[in-house]
Amino acid sequence: MRIPHALASAAALTAIIAIPLSGAFAKKEAAASSPIAAAAAAPSRTPANTARDKYRHPVETLTFFGVKPGQTVVEYSPGGGGWYTEILAPLLKDKGTLYEAQASGRGFDTLKAKMDADAATYGKVKLIPWPDTTGSIPAGSVDTLLTFRNVHNMVMNGTADATFKAFYGLLKPGGTLGIVDHRLPEDRDSALEKSSGYLKVSTIKALAAGAGFTFVEASEINANPKDTADWAKGVWTLPPTLTTGEADPDRAKYLAIGESDRMTLKFVKPK
């Protein structure tokens, strides 16, 4: 028996509605209703930082790295602005431990002042001078160690090997190392890694492997195909730095490109 067209359409629509969420859409829906999403929506976040969510995708990124309440988390070199600190602090305030590991100096002092001014949000966060974490962060106690747009600095100043080894020592067996950084195409001259702010994925994988980590997975959450990664003044040409200044005739182009193309890499300390 033939089903009338209208009834067939209704049946098809009902079948579509009945299909369970799957794949990337399901993951996005799950992330949007998570404790991480609630932390990202915290009223304590500053407007200048939330304006950059469209480039940094914090909910998706932290979900990818497996961050959750109850964990012991270290964020390495959050900087004075504490961009991710604004999300991690409320996420872990009631259940979990957050260490912010920052080198002494202006960044440390600025972040400390920010935290001191809002004890309700940051009162339980432990701000630790780096690299001397002895007596502050027990070795082998950390579930997740995160670093955002910092490995290129390690490579430029020659501290990458030592820092990755320190990361390895802090993490528990089975603990996660999550890295986001500016991505240099693999076919470019490796010498650019010393000056441009961009790194090859293969470089970070080699640093992690050298310290004992196992690569788990990569995500394109923070990719930006508009970024050609070939700017005369490096990654800082693009937002948010815009180092060439307001008088640059290409400023509108840089703003249209947005923030850099970034790799998002997850590693694990073997059990």
Q: pLDDT 10s per residue in the chain (271 long)?
A: 444 444 444 444 444 334 444 555 555 555 556 999 999 999 999 999 999 999 999 999 999 999 999 999 999 999 999 999 999 999 999 999 999 999 999 999 999 999 999 999 999 999 999 999 888 999 999 999 999 999 999 999 999 999 999 999 999 999 999 999 999 999 999 999 999 999 999 999 999 999 999 999 999 999 999 999 999 999 999 999 999 999 999 999 999 999 999 999 999 999 9
Q: How far apart are CA 75 and CA 26, in angstroms?
A: 28
The pLDDT of residue 198: 98
Sign of the CA dihedral running 172, 183, 151, 205? positive
Q: CA-based angle 130:134:140, to the nearest 5? A: 100
Token pair 């500053």: residue: 46
Q: How far apart are CA 102 and CA 256, in angstroms?
A: 32
Q: How far apart are CA 188 and CA 268, in angstroms?
A: 28
Question: Which residues partner with 169 through β-bridges?
Answer: none
The pLDDT of residue 13: 41
Q: How far apart are CA 161 and CA 207, in angstroms?
A: 6
Residues 6 or more apart whose Cβ sits within 8 Å of residue 119? none
**DSSP per residue, the chain:** -PPPHHHHHHHHHHHHHHSPP-HHHHHHHHHHTSHHHHHHT-TTS-HHHHTTHHHH-HHHHHHHHT--TT-EEEEE--TTTTTTHHHHHHHHSSSSEEEEEEETTHHHHHHHHHHHT-HHHHTT-EEEEES--TTTS-TT-EEEEEEES-HHHHHHHT-HHHHHHHHHHHEEEEEEEEEEEEBPPTTS-GGGGGTSS-B-HHHHHHHHHHHT-EEEEEE-TT--TT--S--TTGGGGSTTT-TT-TT-TTHHHHHHH-SPPEEEEEEE---
Q: CA-based angle 142:144:148, to the nearest 5? A: 125
Question: Which residues partner with 148 through β-bridges?
Answer: 180
The pLDDT of residue 14: 43
Residue 177's region, left for phi above 0, alpha for psi from -120 to 50, else beta, is beta
Instruction: Judge contact between 181 and 149, C-beta under 8 A.
Output: yes
